[in-house]
C-alpha cells in the first residue's frame, strides 16, 4: 500500500503542528513546524523504500515529536521543556493510539484555529497564518494564492507568530463570553478563506477550488465540535457547498467568468447541492438567523431554479433585504436591486437604486456602473446605458471581468 | 542479470541552501518516486538508503589519515539489476530523488564470480 489521500501531507502538517504545539507549548511553534517538516521529509525518504506504516499519522507524530523533543533538549531550553512536558519521549516508543482519537485531533485543530483568530492578530495576518499552520501551505504557495508578495506574506506571518507564541488556552476553559466573541471571528476567517478561492481570478481552477475545499474542511471540523455546532456554522457550510456546486460552471477553461444566466446548469454539482441543502436544513433548527443564513438562502434559490428565468426572484429580494439588515453594506442593496429588476422589471430596480446612498467605493466601482448600465439599457435609456457602460468597462479590475461585462452590456 | 551499485554523488557547488519543499511538493515527490519504483520494479534489487556516520577500520592503528569521509561525497546507495550498464544508468537516472540540481548518480557494475 503506497497510496495516500489527496493532500495527505498538507493536512498532516496542519494536524501535527496543532497537536504538538498544544502538547509542547505554543511558545515553540517554530521548532514544532520545523520538526513536522522533518517528519514529512523522513516519510518521503522511508515509506517508498519500506512500506507505508499501518498508522501513518501515528508514525509522523512519533517522528516529529521525537525530533522536536530532541531539538529542544539539545538547546538551552532543556529545563523548561522538562517542566512543561513531563516525561521525555523514548526513541522507539510503540505507537500510542490514544493520542490519535479523532476527537482529540479535532480539538487540537480547533484550538489552533481559535488561536489564529485571536483579535490581537490583524485580520489579514489571521488568514495568512491559518493557511500556513492549519492548511500546510508554504510562503510561496500562500503568496501565489492570495496575490501577495512573498515579503508581505513573511511580514504577516511574523506578526501573527509573535502573538501566537503568547497564546496559551484550552478550548474547554474559554468562558461562554469569550466563546461568543471568538466564534464569529473563526466563522468569518473561514468565510474569507472560501471567498478568496471562490472569487479568485487565478487561472488555475484547481488552485481556486483548493482554497474552497480547505474552508469547507475546517468548517466541517468546527461544525462537528460541540463548541462550533451552532446554526451559524451550519449556514456557513450550506452557503459554501451551494456556491461550490456552481463552481464547475462559473469559469471557462482559461479562467474567464461565465455569468449566472449564461451558465450551463447541467454542470452544477448535484452532490454539492444536496450537501448544501442538508446543512441549510440543519441551520434552520433554532431561532438564529445570521448573514450566513441569508447568503445560503440566496445560493439555495439559485441552485434550485431549473432555469435563470424560473428563479424565484421574490425570495431572493427578501433574502437580500434581510442580509442588508444583518450586515449593512451597499453591495447587498445593489444585489437586491438586480433581483428586483428580474422580478418586477428594470424600472423597479432603478427606483430602488435611486433611493440608496452608496458609499463612494461602491459608487465608483465597476459593479455599480455595470448594474446601472444594464438596467438603463433594459429600460430603454440608451444614452445613460452607454455612459455607465463606458464607466464600468474602464473600472473593471481584471480582463476576465471586462470580457464578461462586454458580453453582458452589449447594445440593446 | 548483472547487478550495479548506484551511488548518489553530491556536487557541492550549486546546491546552496536548496529551499525546503512544501508539504504539497513532498507529496508530489512521494508520488513520483512511487511511479519510478513501479516502473522499474524488476530492476530494483535493494533500494538502499541514505548514508550516515561511519568509521574506517584499518589493519594497524594509524593517526587520522588523509581520508575523505565517504559520506561527504556519497549521499546514499542502492543496487539495481540490469542487462547492461546503459540500462542501469537509465534506471538510476530516472529516479526523481537522485537527479536534481547538485546531485547525480554514479553507476558501477558489481562483478560476481562465475
Least confident of A87-101, A192-206, A244-258, A322-336: A87-101
Average pLDDT of chain A, as a whole number: 88
H helix and E strand count, chain B = 3, 4
Question: Which whole number is the average pLDDT over A279-293?
Answer: 93
The full set of domain ranges for chain A reads 1-100, 106-229, 235-303
pTM more than 0.90:
no
Dist. CA A169–CA A120, nearest whole Å: 15
Dist. CA A243–CA A216, nearest whole Å: 11
Nearest CB neighbour to A49, from listed B22, B23, B49: B49
pLDDT (0 to 100) of residue A291: 94
Asked if B49's CB is within 8 angstroms of A8's CB, the reply is no
Q: Is B55 on the interface with A (CB under 8 A)?
A: no
Q: How many domains does chain B have?
A: 1
CATH number, domain at B101?
A: 3.30.70.1060
Range of the domain at B81: 3-13+22-110
Q: Which residues of A24-41 are buried (b: 16+ CB within 10 A; e: fewer)?
A: bbbbbbebbbbbbbbbbb
The Cα-based distances of A311 to A37, A293, A308, B64, B68 in angstroms read 50, 19, 5, 85, 77
pLDDT (0 to 100) of residue A90: 42
State the residue for C-alpha cell 434550485.
A304
Dist. CA B102–CA A362, nearest whole Å: 53
Q: Is A33 on the interface with B (CB under 8 A)?
A: no
pLDDT band (50, 70, 90) for residue A261: confident
pLDDT, tens digit (0-9, with 9 covering 90-100), for A34-64: 999 999 999 988 888 778 899 999 999 999 9
Q: Which of A99, A74, A90, A94 is nearest to A23 (CA)?
A: A99
Dist. CA A15–CA A19, nearest whole Å: 6
In the stretch 11-50 of chain B, residues with CB closer than 8 A to chain A read: 20-24, 26-27, 29-30, 33-34, 37, 47-50
pLDDT band (50, 70, 90) for residue A83: low
Sequence-distant (6+) residues with CB within 8 A of A227 are A110, A171, A174, A179, A183
Amino acid at each position: 500500500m503506497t497510496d495516500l489521500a489527496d493532500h495527505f501531507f498538507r493536512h498532516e502538517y496542519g494536524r501535527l503542528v496543532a497537536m504538538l504545539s498544544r502538547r509542547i507549548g505554543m511558545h515553540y511553534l517554530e521548532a514544532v513546524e520545523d520538526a513536522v517538516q522533518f517528519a514529512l521529509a523522513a516519510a518521503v525518504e522511508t515509506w517508498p523504500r519500506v512500506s507505508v506504516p499501518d498508522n501513518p499519522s501515528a508514525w509522523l507524530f512519533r517522528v516529529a515529536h521525537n525530533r522536536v523533543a530532541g531539538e529542544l533538549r539539545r538547546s538551552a531550553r532543556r529545563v523548561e521543556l522538562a517542566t512543561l512536558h513531563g516525561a521525555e519521549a523514548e526513541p522507539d516508543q510503540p505507537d500510542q493510539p490514544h493520542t490519535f482519537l479523532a476527537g482529540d485531533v479535532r480539538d487540537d485543530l480547533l484550538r489552533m484555529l481559535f488561536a489564529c483568530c485571536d483579535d490581537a492578530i490583524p485580520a489579514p495576518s489571521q488568514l495568512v497564518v491559518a493557511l500556513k499552520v492549519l492548511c500546510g501551505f508554504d510562503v510561496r504557495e500562500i503568496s501565489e494564492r492570495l496575490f501577495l508578495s512573498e515579503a508581505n506574506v513573511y511580514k504577516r506571518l511574523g506578526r501573527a507568530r509573535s502573538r501566537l507564541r503568547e497564546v496559551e488556552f484550552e478550548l474547554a476553559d474559554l468562558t461562554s463570553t469569550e466563546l461568543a466573541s471568538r466564534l464569529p471571528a473563526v466563522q468569518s476567517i473561514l468565510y474569507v478563506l472560501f471567498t478568496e478561492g471562490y472569487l479568485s481570478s487565478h487561472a488555475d481552477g484547481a488552485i481556486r477550488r483548493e482554497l474552497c475545499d480547505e474552508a469547507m474542511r475546517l468548517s466541517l471540523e468546527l461544525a462537528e465540535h460541540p463548541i462550533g455546532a451552532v446554526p451559524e456554522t451550519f449556514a456557513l457550510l450550506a452557503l459554501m457547498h451551494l456556491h461550490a456546486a456552481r463552481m464547475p460552471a462559473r469559469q471557462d477553461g482559461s479562467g474567464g467568468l461565465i455569468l449566472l444566466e449564461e451558465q450551463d446548469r447541467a454542470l452544477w454539482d448535484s452532490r454539492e447541492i444536496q450537501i448544501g441543502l442538508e446543512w441549510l436544513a440543519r441551520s434552520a433548527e433554532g431561532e438564529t438567523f445570521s448573514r450566513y443564513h441569508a447568503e445560503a438562502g440566496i445560493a439555495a434559490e439559485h441552485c434550485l431554479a431549473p432555469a435563470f428565468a424560473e428563479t424565484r426572484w421574490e425570495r431572493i429580494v427578501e433574502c437580500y433585504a434581510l442580509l442588508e439588515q444583518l450586515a449593512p453594506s451597499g453591495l447587498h442593496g445593489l444585489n437586491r436591486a438586480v433581483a428586483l429588476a428580474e422580478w418586477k422589471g428594470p424600472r423597479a430596480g432603478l427606483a430602488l437604486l435611486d433611493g440608496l446612498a452608496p458609499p463612494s467605493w461602491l459608487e465608483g466601482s465597476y459593479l455599480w456602473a455595470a448594474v446601472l448600465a444594464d438596467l438603463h439599457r433594459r429600460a430603454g435609456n440608451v444614452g445613460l446605458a452607454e455612459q455607465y457602460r463606458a464607466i464600468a468597462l474602464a473600472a473593471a479590475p481584471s480582463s476576465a471581468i471586462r470580457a464578461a461585462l462586454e458580453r453582458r452590456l452589449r447594445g440593446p | 542479470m548483472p547487478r550495479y551499485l548506484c551511488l548518489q554523488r553530491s556536487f557541492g557547488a550549486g546546491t546552496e541552501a536548496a529551499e525546503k519543499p512544501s508539504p504539497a511538493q513532498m507529496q508530489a515527490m512521494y508520488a513520483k518516486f512511487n511511479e519510478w519504483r513501479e516502473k522499474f520494479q524488476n530492476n530494483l534489487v535493494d533500494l538502499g538508503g541514505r548514508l550516515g556516520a561511519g568509521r574506517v577500520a584499518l589493519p594497524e592503528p594509524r593517526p587520522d589519515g588523509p581520508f575523505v569521509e565517504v559520506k561527504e561525497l556519497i549521499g546514499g546507495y542502492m543496487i539495481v539489476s540490469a542487462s547492461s550498464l546503459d540500462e542501469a544508468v537509465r534506471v538510476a537516472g530516472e529516479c526523481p530523488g537522485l537527479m536534481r540540481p547538485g546531485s547525480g548518480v554514479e553507476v558501477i557494475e558489481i562483478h560476481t564470480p562465475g
